[in-house]
Amino acid sequence: MSPPLDAIGVTFAQRLRGGAGPATALTERGAENALPVLSPLAPLLPGGGLRRGSTVAVHGSASLLLALLAGASRSGAWSAVVGVPTLGMAAAAEAGVVLERLALVPDPGSDLAGVLAALADGMDVVAVGATGRLRGMEVRRLVARARQRGTVLVGFGGWPGAELRLSVEAPVWQGLGDGHGYLRARQVTVRVDGRGSATRPRRYDLSLPALDGGVAEVAPVGIVPAASGVVAVEPEVAWARQAEAV
């Protein structure tokens, strides 16, 4: 087994090496040019879904990354997350990701580009959290490969020249009051910008994670006072708590 496939794991390696992966050339997909997402996320994305062959950058929230994967996996898509060791199966399941169609590669080894290329041949969505290790030529080759295969590349923390960027801002946690209680849900503002139809920045308020662990729209009625069980948390503190939860 080659090093890239060895990093992925035996089951998925056999699937990819045998040519039985779910991803096929984009020209063979016909009208299926976008992967569906959970309904609260649809307004964030041009066309209401993850366009096949596109590149997306997600900043500041593992919950947002998992929410994007959840809708795609429920529709039958296969996903992989590479180089994000703090993300586990329990968090993915709570977010609604279908675990049978999810591959986690916490440590891709020294050949990150090779692992991503192999996954792009067999997955519908490939998320990577170590894009800084990729050289410019490798990024260009991966983008071209993903475009030809119809695979969505998601950079967790950024992707050079991403067509769409999603950033979480102003997190407000629910559940704490008077120094006691548990963090149960979080209201955030998601900033959307990018290239093409996403050139003009937009902002959307979401509950992420919601009380059920998924994602929900937030009615534009302002922020509930802290006395009602909502307390503002600094972004750095919120992110640290989220990483610990994952």
Each residue of 226-236: pLDDT tens digit? Answer: 333 433 333 33
Domain of residue 72, CATH code: 3.40.50.300
Structure tokens at 176: 């704490």
Same domain? 152 vs 33: yes
Each residue of 55-70: pLDDT tens digit? Answer: 999 998 898 999 999 9
Which domain range does residue 54 map to?
A: 3-156
pLDDT of residue 3: 53
Same domain? 144 vs 215: no
Question: What distance in Å separates the CA atoms of residue 206 and residue 204, rounded to the nearest whole number?
Answer: 6
Query: What 3-state class would DSSP assign to 141?
Result: helix
Same domain? 26 vs 141: yes
Q: Is the peptide bond before 209 cis (omega within 30 degrees of 0)?
A: yes
Q: Which residues pair with 36 in a beta bridge?
A: 49
Same domain? 201 vs 239: yes
Q: How many domains are there within the chain?
A: 2
The residue among 124, 156, 188 that closes a domain is 156
Same domain? 31 vs 105: yes
pLDDT of residue 211: 77
pLDDT of residue 198: 63
Same domain? 179 vs 116: no
Mean pLDDT of 165-174: 84
Flag whether pLDDT at 42 surpasses 50. yes
Mean pLDDT of 170-180: 66
Each residue of 200-245: pLDDT tens digit? Answer: 788 899 988 777 767 888 765 333 333 334 333 333 333 334 444 4
The residue among 127, 156, 185 that closes a domain is 156
Same domain? 24 vs 137: yes
Same domain? 152 vs 93: yes
Same domain? 41 vs 97: yes
Number of helical (H) and strand (E) elements in the chain, helices listed first: 7, 12
At residue 109 the predicted structure's pLDDT band, cuts being 50, 70 and 90, is very high
Q: Residue 7: in which H helix or E strand, if any?
A: helix 3-8
Same domain? 132 vs 175: no
Same domain? 12 vs 46: yes
Same domain? 52 vs 71: yes
DSSP assignment letter at 151 = P
